[in-house]
Amino acid sequence: MTVLLFGVTKDIVGSSSLSIPTSSEFGIKKTKTVAGLKEYLGNAYPDLNKLSSLAVAVNNAYAEDSTKIDNFDEIALIPPVSGG
């Protein structure tokens, strides 16, 4: 599964994309939902947990935590933004 990263999420991870194994042999079964993906990423990159908000888009649409995801979805982490 490939996750696209933007803004501060890219800085935290150190890359503009992240490949996450989805095989059960890696013990990452929980990443079948947005909530599971967020939990996995928060454990792997604890600084992501410090963000005031973190939206996830699946196939170019904002997704709820209960949204199911699979290996072929386009996933993006969207950090909090401010503007003026």
Q: Provide the CATH number for the domain around residue 61.
A: 3.10.20.30
What pLDDT was estimated at residue 72? 87
Total domains in the fold of the chain? 1
Instruction: State the pTM of this model.
Output: 0.84
Residues 77 and 56 sit within 8 Å (Cβ to Cβ) = yes
pLDDT of residue 83: 59
Please tell me the predicted confidence (pLDDT) of residue 84.
Answer: 54
Burial class (CB in 10 A: 0-12, 13-18, 19+), 33: middle
pLDDT in tens, 11-53: 999 999 998 876 654 445 556 899 999 998 999 999 999 999 9
Residue entry with tokens 């989805």? 22
Q: What is the reported pLDDT for 32?
A: 86
Domain assignment present for 84? no
Q: Is residue 68 part of a domain?
A: yes
In a domain, 83, yes or no: no
